[in-house]
């Protein structure tokens, strides 16, 4: 009796180990069009905690391309590991493609799947359908935006550099300008009149300098403001040139007397009286006021 129980126990143990490893491979279709995809499902079972070697499709299988390979999914049921993996494949060669038997190894045992075959067909073309040559690779459309942006940046930089250069030139030119050049003709003439009054040349007995400077103020003002060649003109020449100016007759007569009196003081050592000296200064001031440029509108508004 005991001997029979030992034999039965050994038999059941052997059967249990014989069933400890199982493996299968299935495909969801056995025929595809060239370029289509199909799924290969691998399933296996081993005893829980068993070390195993999962099968790998060899790279030598020609005609197959892997699209996606999932991780090995493991679940446990009644002390058995149930293993599964999904592979997505395709083929770009027409004909039959074979998947050789794959094996799962565990504890020195091995379970293998059957070989599988996939028929890869070319698409059926209608006899009425037109045939076309294979299109050459298309060039992507040329993108002008980077070039336009680059040109815009270059233009902005060029304008900025030009403005900077012009500003530096103007700044340098302003530094080199004399007070006469920086001021308007009218402003500079008024400044010269003020200086003559402050110096009190008549009290110092400098009558010749007094008349010379007064007439020079008027002559320089004419050149700068009216474009009249006055500095090198004689009294008579200047009086003749001033006929074109729209001046009151009385003012013209006073300027005439001033220019001739200045020439007499300079060359004939004439000694004018106090009233003549005062009239000379008033005449120049009056001339400047009558011929000064009209104020701009905005300047006029500010002065109100």
- Domain residue ranges of the chain, discontinuous segments joined by +: 21-121, 179-294
21-121 CATH fold: Immunoglobulin-like (2.60.40)
The pLDDT assigned to 128 comes to 65
d(CA 91, CA 122) in angstroms, rounded, equals 11
The pLDDT assigned to 6 comes to 46
The pLDDT assigned to 174 comes to 61
The pLDDT assigned to 304 comes to 38
- Residue ranges in the chain whose pLDDT is less than 70: 1-19, 58-60, 125-135, 173-181, 295-304
This prediction has a pTM of 0.41
The pLDDT assigned to 9 comes to 44
């Amino acid at each position: 009796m005991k001997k029979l129980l030992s034999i039965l126990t050994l038999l059941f143990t052997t059967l249990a180990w014989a069933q400890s490893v199982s493996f299968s491979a299935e495909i969801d279709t056995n025929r595809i069009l060239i370029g289509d995809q199909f799924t290969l499902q691998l399933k296996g079972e081993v005893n829980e905690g068993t070390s195993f070697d999962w099968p790998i499709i060899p790279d030598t299988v020609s005609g197959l391309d892997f699209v996606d390979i999932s991780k090995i999914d493991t679940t446990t049921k009644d002390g058995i590991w149930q293993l599964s993996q999904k592979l997505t494949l395709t083929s770009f060669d027409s004909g039959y493609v074979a998947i050789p038997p794959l094996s799962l190894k565990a504890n020195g045992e091995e379970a293998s799947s059957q070989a599988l075959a996939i028929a890869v067909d070319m698409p059926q073309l209608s006899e009425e359908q037109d045939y076309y040559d294979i299109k050459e690779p298309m060039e992507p459309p040329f993108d002008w935006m980077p070039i336009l942006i680059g040109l815009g940046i270059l233009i902005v930089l060029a304008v900025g550099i030009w403005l900077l250069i012009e500003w530096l030139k103007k700044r340098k030119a302003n530094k080199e300008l004399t007070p006469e050049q920086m001021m308007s003709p009218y402003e500079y003439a008024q400044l010269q009149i003020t200086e003559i009054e402050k110096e009190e040349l008549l009290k110092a007995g400098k009558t010749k300098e007094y008349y010379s400077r007064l007439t020079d103020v008027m002559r320089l003002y004419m050149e700068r403001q009216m474009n009249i060649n006055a500095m090198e003109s004689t009294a008579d020449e200047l009086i003749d040139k001033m006929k074109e100016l729209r001046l009151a007759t009385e003012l013209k007569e006073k300027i005439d007397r001033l220019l001739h009196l200045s020439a007499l003081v300079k060359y004939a050592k004439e000694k004018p009286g106090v009233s003549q000296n005062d009239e000379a200064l008033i005449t120049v001031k009056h001339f400047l006021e009558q011929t000064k440029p009209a104020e701009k509108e905005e300047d006029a508004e500010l002065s109100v």
